[in-house]
């Protein structure tokens, strides 16, 4: 323990480091958590700017402002940046900040590994973004980078893309090893696994998912590298390879990956809903088992992304039924959140508003997911805007809203200052209205047959697309307000009190109440644990 605490202080004998070197060499979990969060916020605006280019091009039919080639680069890099540069680093930032505090540890178990896992990320995205300025241009083959498009017909910069993905994967693996080690070895005395806060549980399970699937992604991009530079034919049919093999490998990584992006969200939302309902989460242990079930099932459903490749009917049936099975533990979680709110003393501060929106809109995304799981129906939906609508409902009002909820919830803890509640609610309503304006109409154009990833479209889709683009620009604008709120909070927000959410933590416990350990955002006192 003492070694960990000492490593938080600067190793040099000249007092604490100043300026940039403090951040470069820091081993403090709070500093590293903050760097992850700021990094993901910067990437949100870069990836968001790319989405704005896409929506500006699609504002009306015909070719507007960018070439089809540049449009494809925007689609590819928007997806990669939002998944690997925004959602995942933000959740790792939350993990770094909150896990040690929630389990009563002085820091993360491996502080220097923690530092390294962050600092290689800006390098990875620097490499990815630098491809825009190279001969041949940035990757243009979609964020799923299907071979042979990404091997036979890709720009020469694909090699930099592969290197970049390797570095991102290494960062994830190191972060996960650190999280698992911390949770298993550094819990306060008396804090058994089933007394851990749900956010800690959600990350514990997510970290195992990351360690399991990141090497699979590394394998896929390494095989691409071999096909491009070393004459192998993993994915080249002419040489005896199989392009569908790429899809199997990619989605064996890609499907657990989408759960990696939502499980920590479940943890965050569970904390917020119980706080603003003034009662402990309903069905704590079933929540833990539900998260674990979702994680396990995520490994056996990958080919539901591939119903149209021509698999045997037995395969289609297996992937169809196993996908629908995931709806059960997810339904348990939604039921538990609603039951927690039922008859609670609810108040609707900004974090709670985002959390309630999360539950409602994530459910819409889940229901369209069940539609996509129906194999014969998927033949109609596949590669249309319906799919885009589905996964954006899960990832924007899902993952992103939970991050915004968590940021508002813990900003007073992180900064010591209170954010502006009026501005926070304004941000929520702008985001809520615009996110639905953006993604709901996509269901309609998708069902009507509008293909995704195409910069032009036929006249009958024009009205809906105009609405979607207006919604997208409004949503982008709303996030600038969020940036303003955070900076205002950090610089001159009013001082946060010990009881930030009035009365939320201080609800009365009777003798018969279950132990309330998992309801607190900070570690329980030794007295509580002994009791």
Catalytic positions are 78, 107, 143, 171-172, 255, 257, 259, 270, 304-305, 330, 333, 452
Q: If you search the block for the tokens 């589905």, which residue do you land on? A: 390
Angle formed at CA 214 by CA 95 and CA 151, multiple of 5 degrees: 135
Q: Rounded to an integer, what distance in angstroms lies between the CA atom of residue 398 and that of residue 478?
A: 17
Q: Rounded to an integer, what distance in angstroms lies between the CA atom of residue 454 and that of residue 466?
A: 16
- Closest Cα to residue 330, out of 373, 280, 300, 365? 365
CB atoms under 10 Å from CB of 84, counted, come to: 26
Q: Rounded to an integer, what distance in angstroms lies between the CA atom of residue 114 and that of residue 93?
A: 11
Q: If you search the block for the tokens 């600092």, which residue do you land on? A: 119
- Closest Cα to residue 25, out of 41, 42, 8? 8
Q: How far is CA 259 from CA 86, 337, 347, 349, 486, in A?
A: 15, 19, 30, 27, 28
Contact (CB, 8 A) for 122 and 434: no
Environment class of residue 170 by beta-carbon count within 10 Å: exposed (0-12), middle (13-18) or buried (19+)? middle
Contact (CB, 8 A) for 266 and 259: no
Q: Mind spelling out the 3-state secondary structure of 126-163?
A: HHHHHHHHCCCCCCCCCCCCCCCCCCCCCCCCHHHHHH
């Amino acid at each position: 323990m003492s070694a960990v605490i000492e490593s938080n202080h600067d190793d040099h004998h000249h007092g604490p480091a100043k300026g940039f070197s403090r951040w470069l060499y820091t081993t403090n979990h709070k500093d590293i958590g903050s760097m992850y969060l700021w990094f993901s916020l910067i990437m949100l605006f870069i990836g968001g700017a790319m989405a704005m280019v896409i929506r500006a091009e699609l504002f009306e039919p015909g070719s507007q402002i960018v070439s089809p080639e540049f449009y494809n680069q925007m689609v590819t890099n928007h997806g990669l940046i939002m998944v690997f540069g925004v959602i995942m680093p933000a959740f790792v930032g939350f993990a770094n900040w909150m896990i040690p505090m929630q389990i009563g540890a002085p820091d993360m178990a491996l502080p220097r590994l923690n530092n390294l896992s962050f600092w290689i990320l800006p390098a990875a995205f620097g490499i990815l973004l630098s491809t825009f300025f190279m001969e041949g241009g940035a990757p243009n083959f979609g964020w799923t980078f299907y071979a042979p498009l990404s091997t036979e017909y890709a720009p020469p910069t694909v090699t930099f893309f592969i290197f970049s993905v390797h570095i991102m994967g290494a960062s994830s693996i190191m972060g996960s090893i650190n999280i698992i080690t911390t949770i298993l070895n550094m819990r306060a005395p008396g804090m058994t696994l089933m007394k851990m806060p749900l956010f800690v549980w959600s990350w514990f399970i997510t970290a195992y998912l990351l360690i399991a699937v990141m090497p699979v992604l590394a394998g896929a991009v390494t095989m691409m590298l071999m096909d491009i530079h070393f004459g192998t034919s993993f994915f080249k049919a002419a040489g005896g390879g199989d392009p569908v093999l790429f899809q199997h490998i990619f989605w064996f990584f890609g499907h657990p990956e989408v759960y990696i992006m939502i499980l920590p969200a479940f943890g965050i939302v569970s904390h917020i809903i119980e706080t603003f309902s003034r009662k402990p989460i309903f069905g704590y242990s079933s929540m833990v088992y539900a998260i674990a079930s979702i994680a396990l099932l995520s490994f056996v459903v990958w080919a539901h992304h591939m119903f149209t490749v021509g698999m045997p009917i037995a395969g289609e049936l297996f992937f169809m039924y196993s996908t629908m099975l995931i709806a059960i533990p997810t339904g348990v979680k939604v039921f538990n959140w609603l039951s927690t709110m039922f008859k609670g003393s609810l108040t609707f501060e900004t974090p709670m508003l985002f959390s309630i929106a999360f539950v409602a809109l994530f459910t819409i995304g889940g229901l369209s997911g069940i539609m996509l799981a129906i194999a014969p129906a998927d033949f109609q939906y596949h590669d249309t805007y319906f799919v885009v609508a589905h996964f954006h409902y899960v990832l924007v009002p899902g993952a992103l809203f939970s991050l915004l909820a968590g940021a508002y919830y813990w900003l007073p803890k992180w900064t010591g200052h209170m954010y502006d509640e009026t501005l926070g609610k304004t941000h929520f309503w702008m985001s809520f209205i615009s996110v639905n304006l953006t993604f709901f109409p996509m269901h309609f154009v998708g069902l009507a047959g509008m293909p995704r990833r195409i910069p032009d479209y036929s006249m009958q889709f024009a009205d809906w697309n105009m609405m979607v683009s207006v919604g997208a620009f409004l949503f982008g604008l709303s996030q600038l307000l969020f940036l303003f709120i955070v900076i205002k909070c950090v610089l001159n927000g009013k001082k946060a009190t010990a009881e930030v959410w009035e009365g939320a933590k201080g609800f009365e416990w009777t003798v018969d109440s279950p132990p309330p350990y998992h309801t607190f955002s900070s570690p329980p006192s030794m007295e509580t644990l002994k009791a």
